[in-house]
Structure 1
């Protein structure tokens, strides 16, 4: 059920269009040293649905960032997004060559995210030697031809059974990218015990390799996959802490290889008068959406370090847990406490801009 829900939520963020690029690997690539400009890696994913807005936020506050992760790619083709041939699809409606130049001109890294679309798609590729080779070749060649600094793998729909194959794939891809002066980051789910860890294809021991520069832990959507989804925090602070304690203290993963994924959005619920219960309406709503709601009332929930809100529209009652600068600042404190590499936000655009005006400067003084 978890994989099905993840796939469904992915559809809220993007629609698949465009074509697949096949480029020839250039053995002469001069990007052989990658450094970040701040004491912490501060990054954010671009939402392909409002890529321009995402980039505008980055440009406005680029002095705080060291890299960005535009969601410009998925596995498959423009006509078959679920194919498992090793092809990659560039979302032509989001891709922007000028943005690449502007990011590099600011001294920052551009490491696009690539996601899977169908349940088990990654497994099918990993179990097919030719498809696996195709995918590695396509990722390396595209990074070179597009002048990217690396890749962010965001494979949320993979089945857990192929952990060893995924680890081997990551090792080979990471080493191939490093040979061209580029890096590999891997975005992983959040888990705080062996059982929840077992649900994912990611093997923490395998990801300790030097072939992987960073892992990004998606420390949000705490109740995704539950049935019914309760009216509760997007990711309460104690749960986030438990995830970091498990990964770092129990699984001995190096803290300096970890970037904490922090939400800047909310989950919305609608009251069902027939059942006298709250039902999930949207598992992703933006801060600006909430601020425009009529009769909006909000309360800080100190136990969760998140905001709770209620409002009424057309006689219907709604509620939400959502993030703002205050909730983000609480999670940035964990970056310092656990000595992490940095933080990454889902998603740039339509968030509380006080995150950049006050929260980051207050908590991470090494970010200029």
Structure 2
């Protein structure tokens, strides 16, 4: 294994963090970034095991970390073994076996290979093993921020909608941007504030900048300057509805931005449209090149929602079989430890033949109670119901509850990706946080 120290990034750092967690030390989220919390966990491990306390993971520290863990026994792979068969043999869950052997490729087992078998019993204090982030739209920032204040232990980072690009490459602020209340609270609780920049879903706006090298470089510098000036850990690029002809130029822009951010020790996160293949179901999805974006970005947020949207026919916001297919494609093109699934918590109310309005969980439940109609619960499609309003217009409502949200978390675990980003805070069923703790 490579010698690792603070500042290192990548899959081996993720493996280091998983090992530390299994030993009972808290390296922070399993995010592949060797930061202060991971370094502190390494120092504690080295102290407890009589190793040189330098915070550097060299051969001796690796050897100690990879020795038999407390609560585990070793097993040697034999002919015909699969992880599924081994899990059955030892009467443990496949997920716990995979978690105990995060560096093992289940499709490439070798006879004589050693793996760890978790032994049931008391373990270290549980911590979240996946990144949990959340988007805070500026138009409901106060409400969204309350969710963070109610559950500060849950969030690794938050991304408030604070900035919008312009056709001359500038970065303008939305109302409520750079809130000292949000910044001071987040920093006091160890939550990263990684603001979002949008192109307002404007294809032409981003196209003008991408196709002019001078404007493109000006935009890069403005983003980096803002990130450094405000001492953000990084930035979330949310440029949607691009022209397909700008697909390659968008990746060029991201590479240029990544290089400039990396020089300042800042992270690049990119939000992309969900799709199940390279072409996607519409032009905006096709214009997001998962391979190129995945190579340029430190993390990629796949917006796994709006299978049905405001302008579509009524239906589930993120049916589980579709999200499953979205993640299957995503992990085939982007490293798993870079992928965050954008998970919905809001829904839509469609008046018959009209455009839908967005609804929160509490609004959807209250509306069903108001009209005294039953809510059909569905763990794969989400809760839904119909009602007739006082004007005699029929409505169909689809939304998200903790049960359905938990199904989407199961898919995150299935594909072993980095974590989730919630769209959007303030709209959620309060019980989703119990689901997050239970699943992660």
User: TM-score normalized by structure 2?
Assistant: 0.67
SS of 1:62's partner is coil
CA contact (8 A) 2:138 2:175 kept: no
CA contact (8 A) 2:145 2:425 kept: yes
SS of 2:297's partner is coil
Residue 28 of structure 1: aligned partner: none
CA contact (8 A) 1:120 1:157 kept: no
Corresponding pairs, count: 312
Residue 92 of structure 1: aligned partner: 175
CA contact (8 A) 1:160 1:198 kept: no
Distance of aligned partners of 1:230 and 1:34 in 2 relative to their CA distance in 1, 3 Å threshold? farther
Matched, 1:242 2:325: yes
Residue 438 of structure 2: aligned partner: 362
Matched, 1:301 2:378: yes
Whole-angstrom distance in 1 between the partners of 2:294 and 2:238:
17
Matched, 1:346 2:423: yes
After TM superposition, the structure 1 = structure 2 runs for residues 53-64 of structure 1, keeping only pairs within 5 Å, are 53-64=143-154
Displacement, 1:193?
Answer: 2.0
CA contact (8 A) 2:197 2:235 kept: yes
Gap regions ≥5 residues in structure 1: 1-31, 77-83, 272-277
Whole-angstrom distance in 2 between the partners of 1:194 and 1:45:
26
Matched, 1:119 2:203: yes
Matched, 1:286 2:360: yes
Displacement, 1:149?
Answer: 1.1
Displacement, 1:157?
Answer: 2.5
Residue 329 of structure 1: aligned partner: 406
After TM superposition, the structure 1 = structure 2 runs for residues 32-43 of structure 1, keeping only pairs within 5 Å, are 33=35, 38-43=128-133
Displacement, 1:201?
Answer: 2.5
Displacement, 1:347?
Answer: 0.4
Deviations 1:40-91 (A, max 9, x none): 1101100211101111111110101100000111112xxxxxxx10011111
Residue 216 of structure 1: aligned partner: 301
Moved over 4 A (4+): 32-38
User: TM-score normalized by structure 1?
Assistant: 0.80
Displacement, 1:99?
Answer: 1.1
Aligned alpha-carbon RMSD (Å): 2.1
Residue 134 of structure 1: aligned partner: 218
SS of 2:395's partner is strand
Distance of aligned partners of 1:35 and 1:216 in 2 relative to their CA distance in 1, 3 Å threshold? farther
Larger Rg: 2
Gap regions ≥5 residues in structure 2: 1-33, 39-126
Higher share of residues assigned strand: 1
Displacement, 1:108?
Answer: 1.6
Whole-angstrom distance in 2 between the partners of 1:266 and 1:167:
32
Choose from 90, 93, 108 the match for 2:191.
Answer: 108
Q: Name which structure has the greater RCO, CA cutoff 8 Å, separation 6+.
A: 1
